Chain A
Amino acid sequence: MAAGRAAVVCGLGTHLPSRVVTNEDLARELDTSDEWIRSRTGIGQRHIAEEGIATSDLAVEAGGRALKSAETDAVDTVIVATSTPDHTCPATAPTVAARLGLGTVPAFDVAAMCTGFLYGLAVGGGLIAAGTADSVLVIGAETYSSILDPEDRSTRAIFGDGAGAVVLRAGEPEEPGALGPVILGSDGTGSELIRIPSGGSRDPIRAEHIERADPYFRMAGTRVFRNAVERMVDASREAVSRVGWTLDDIEVFVAHQANVRIMNAVADQMRLPRSRFPVHLDRVGNTAAASIPLALADAVTTGALRPGQRTAIAGFGGGLTWGAATLTWPDVTPV
């Protein structure tokens, strides 16, 4: 990275709703089974928010813990990456900032679905590099349970609720925790592969044709699979080469926890051992924009990710969007 200010990860916080829904629980209400879900996704259970809990509630918990982890009670900016905001408008971030006691700092949402956390890191890092901010709280928070079709066994098996957050501060490019360039991309020709068909300006939900509306999240899983693998591999190759590493220099690869078979395919395509890809989705499912910070914290807690290790992160999501970045993992204790 060019000389100058870098954005350095200095705090990590997470929050999962306490209610756990196992595959067996789903099999009691849908035509599915533990074996079917595990063999196709690697997921064993997911956390689901209680009725009345919104994305900002999860974001406030995770954000507060990230501030505690960073041993600070103030940041200059709050970014919430989410595709399940409390309301279509306004953004969720100002509410979160206010409830965290951060005063009148700038706060806004980033909408890049499962790649949202990487987009948020890129924006937060850019604000720091430009001198606009000295510290940024980046939160990925989702309540996918609020947008899933109760009858759709495939999406209900995959998605869970949760939040994860990091604090970025201004620092030096060479210090542990400094983010390398965040490689981002999008391909809107695939926008129909992952979306909620109705409820936006393209197809507003109106009383007179409410029976035609589809307000639920839809995903064309098989077509997404290949895109996810190829885009994450390409972005990761570029992120790694931009900091002068080779692929084999990656000691730990924390991938968006979409599907263990996607993660295995990414590892195989990069010819890296699958053991370098920590798996968290078996216990939490796909938590969309929250998945990377949740997986980072879990990897630190289990000892899979240690200070000083060369780390890659990569994600892929609706839009289509994707991204990847590198950092040397800092001495940060998740809260």
Chain B
Amino acid sequence: MSDTYPRLVQLLVKNFGFETDEVTPEDTFSKLELDSLALVELTLTVQQEFGIELSDDDLGADDTLGQAVKVIESKPVVA
């Protein structure tokens, strides 16, 4: 079982003030009220945490956390 989802949730908890049980894989970023600036911040943090490279639109406001996990897992580790 991949640990990508819990690691992503940890980033949301640590950097954006969410509680672990406050989010589900079905939540979209816009439902979590992450605005465009917050999505850029999350993109940078995810790159650092997972050692991958993301393009500007890999994490979109209408994506769910579950979809984001798939995007993260599809990227080769570069760092």
Contact = CB atoms under 8 A, between A and B. Distances in A.
Given A223-B56, A226-B56, A265 B36 contact: no
B55 to A, nearest CB: 10
A269 interface: yes
25 contacts: A40-B35, A40-B37, A221-B37, A222-B36, A222-B37, A222-B40, A223-B56, A225-B37, A225-B40, A226-B40, A226-B43, A226-B44, A226-B56, A229-B44, A230-B44, A261-B37, A261-B41, A265-B41, A265-B44, A268-B15, A268-B44, A268-B45, A268-B48, A269-B44, A269-B48
Contacts of A226: 40, 43-44, 56
Interface in B26-73: 35-37, 40-41, 43-45, 48, 56
A269 B41 CA distance: 10
Contacts of A223: 56
A225 B43 CA distance: 11
A304 B63 CA distance: 42
Interface residues of B, number: 11
Contacts of A222: 36-37, 40
Contacts of B48: 268-269
B78 to A, nearest CB: 14
A193 to B, nearest CB: 12
Interface of B: 15, 35-37, 40-41, 43-45, 48, 56
Contacts of B36: 222
Among A225, A229, A269, the one with the most B-chain Cβ atoms within 10 Å of its Cβ is A225
Contacts of A221: 37
A7 B37 CA distance: 38
A269 B15 CA distance: 13
A223 B37 CA distance: 9
A174 B45 CA distance: 37
Contacts of A269: 44, 48
A152 to B, nearest CB: 17
Interface in A219-272: 221-223, 225-226, 229-230, 261, 265, 268-269
Contacts of A230: 44
Contacts of B44: 226, 229-230, 265, 268-269
A229 B56 CA distance: 13
> What 7 A-B pairs come out closest when comparing CB atoms?
A222-B36, A225-B40, A226-B40, A265-B44, A265-B41, A229-B44, A222-B40
A223 B39 CA distance: 11
Nearest to B54: A226
Interface in A27-80: 40
Interface string A129-144: 0000000000000000
B51 to A, nearest CB: 13
A229 to B, nearest CB: 6
A269 B45 CA distance: 8
A260 B68 CA distance: 26
A223 B15 CA distance: 20
Contacts of B45: 268
Nearest to A226: B40
A270 to B, nearest CB: 10
A65 to B, nearest CB: 36
Contacts of B56: 223, 226
Nearest to B35: A40
A221 B44 CA distance: 16
A54 B30 CA distance: 43
Interface in A193-227: 221-223, 225-226
A322 B38 CA distance: 23
B57 to A, nearest CB: 11
